[in-house]
Amino acid sequence: MLHKTLKPFPKDFLWGASTSAYQVEGAALEDGKGPSCQDVKEIPEGTADLSVSVDHYHHYKEDIALMAEMGFKSYRFSISWTRVLPNGTGEVNPKGIEFYNNLIDECLKYDIEPIVTMFHFDMPAALDERGSWSRHDSVDWFAEYACVLFENFGDRVKYWLTINEQNMLTLVGPVIGTLHVPEGTANLTKEIYQQNHHQLVAQAKAMQLCHEMLPDAKIGPAPNISLVYPASSKPEDVIAAQNFNALRNWLYLDAYVFGEYNNLAWAYLEENDALPTVTDEDRTIMKAAKPDFIGFNYYNTATVEASDGSEAAGVNGDQQSHQTFPGFAKSVDNPNLVKTEFGWEIDPVGFRATVREMYSRYRLPLLVTENGLGAYDTLTEDGKIHDNYRIEYLRQHIAQIQLAISDGVDMLGYNPWSAVDLISTHEGIRKRYGFIYVDRTDEEVGSLKRYRKDSFFWYQKVIATNGQDLKD
């Protein structure tokens, strides 16, 4: 739809950016923090050591001052479960509580709304050893952790996110570095979907607890949602796109919002002997919970064609993965899109399409919790980073949000990845996303000095004009 007049961004639109604890904080075992699965995993060769990351733990004041300088209205960060509960359950670490109190207070000092992710890929190692999400107990572990967070930070945190990219954990877990997922399979086993199911119940319980304990707070999920296109107008390809949409996107959002499994996804799991065991109590918990908004990460769309069932099942890649689900759908490249230096397709119009689809299905306000461009950046001798490619990417995506708003979608905010450079899930710090450059490489920790990229100044102007001026 072409709009003659565009609707403006809402007055209280949450312009900000995101990070996650294990990718940004460092201080991996400092001040009583227990190890998470990220601290004990094998680091992919040639990628940065996560024990220092970009040391946000010691630089948070400086980092938040820079975010304030950009004019941020929000900062989405995650809490490290093991900084707060070193063993995942039981004893609380006062130093961990103190750190997040300081971080939250520092945001509020500048009127930056903290948006807190409760779980971002970092299962406590102690719980991992006990079976992680494959245990039904994981629902109670997560509920205990949620209570600690709500009790300690609920007086100041108004926006909560439950689990980051649960769908990617299920679809491409090994790439993200979580355990209990066999490598190289299409992840279509009962074992995987049982873990997935426990996360669905755990996040529902956390939403319920949040509503009981913090009536003024808002809580939502943060899956990675991208619309799946059919590779052609062949009806069989359209069916394949519906299939993969169901397995990749709607399985999660239907469960979060309606408390029910998506029928297409359920039927496919059933066919493949991958159905989770679901108790009556699980069903009751899922039904009773409802998010206040949908947080979601968007990087690109996916494209699929029909699968005749003769291909081997398989995953090839990361969050932008090519996957084959025999007899269901097979991902292919979209020839209409260009790719980033790291091979991820770029699809700003798909952002609008994704948002429109989500809003018409669920009718809940939408909060962008990630979006962004991973690229190689160069620090010039005079301390500059000319990242016009990132500006271009962000500009095009922000323009599509305004179109979506004009289409009638209720958008709460935009928090791209990432506020500051940090360690990518599996491609090191050479793949940078931030507005703020950090002087370190994959091989060396470096000075960790912060520099303002060109995109920093550009985003500052975008925020100052509430999205009206997207020019350089």
Give me the residues that bind ligand BGP (CB under 6 A), please: 20, 23, 164-165, 168, 224, 297, 318-319, 370, 374, 417, 424-427, 431
Residue 126 in tokens? 């102690």
By beta-carbon proximity to ligand BGP, the closer residue of 187 and 319 is 319
106 is catalytic: no
The nearest distance, CB 98 to ligand BGP, in angstroms, is 25
Q: What is the DSSP string of 245-262?
A: HIIIIIHHHHHHHHSS--
Q: What is the nearest approach in angstroms of ligand BGP to the Cβ of residue 72? A: 19
Q: Are 436 and 372 in contact (CB under 8 A)?
A: no
16 versus 374: smaller Cβ distance to ligand BGP: 374
In whole angstroms, the minimum distance from the beta carbon of 449 to ligand BGP comes to 22
CA angle 310, 315, 307 (to 5 degrees): 30
Looking at beta carbons only, is 47 or 307 nearer to ligand BGP? 47
Q: 84: burial class by Cβ within 10 Å (0-12, 13-18, 19+)? A: buried
CB of 284 to ligand BGP, least distance (A): 30
Q: Least distance (Å) from ligand BGP to the CB of residue 363?
A: 25
237 vs 318, which CB is nearer to ligand BGP?
318
Closer CB to ligand BGP, residue 168 or residue 210?
A: 168
* Closest distance to ligand BGP from the beta carbon of 463 (Å): 22
d(CA 414, CA 409) in angstroms, rounded, equals 14
Q: Which residues contact 275 (CB under 8 A, 6 or more apart)?
A: 190, 193, 266, 269
From the CB of 342, what's the least distance to ligand BGP, in Å? 7
How far is 453 from 450, CA to CA, in rounded Å?
A: 9
User: Which residue, 248 or 431, is less far from ligand BGP as judged by CB?
Assistant: 431
Note whether 194 and 267 are within 8 A (CB). no
Question: Which position has the token pair 């199911």?
Answer: 197
Q: Which residues lie closer than 8 Å to 411 by C-beta, 6 or more apart?
A: 9, 10, 13, 355, 365, 366, 367, 368, 401, 404, 405
Cα angle 461-349-229, degrees, rounded to a multiple of 5: 150
Cα torsion through 433, 434, 438, 444, rounded to 10 = -20
The active-site residue, picked from 25, 106, 113, 370, is 370
In terms of CB distance, is 13 or 77 closer to ligand BGP?
A: 77
Strands 314-316 and 450-452: unpaired
Helix (H), strand (E) at residue 115: strand 113-119
Using Cβ positions, the residue closest to ligand BGP within the complex turns out to be 424
Name the minimum Å distance from CB 346 to ligand BGP.
13
Judge whether 398 and 414 are in contact, CB under 8 Å.
yes
- Taking the chain, what is the end-to-end CA distance rounded to the nearest angstrom? 27
Q: Which residue has the tokens 């479960």?
A: 81
**Secondary structure (H, E, C), 315-364:** EECCCCCEEEECCCEEEECCCCCCECCCCCECCHHHHHHHHHHHHHHHCC
Residue 197 and residue 276 in contact, taking contact as beta carbons nearer than 8 Å: yes
Question: CB of residue 78 vs ligand BGP: minimum separation in angstroms?
Answer: 9
Considering beta carbons, is residue 249 or 425 the nearer one to ligand BGP?
Answer: 425
Our CB check for ligand BGP shows the closer of 330 and 431 to be 431
96 three-state secondary structure: helix
DSSP run (H or E) holding 148:
helix 138-153
Catalytic residue numbers? 370
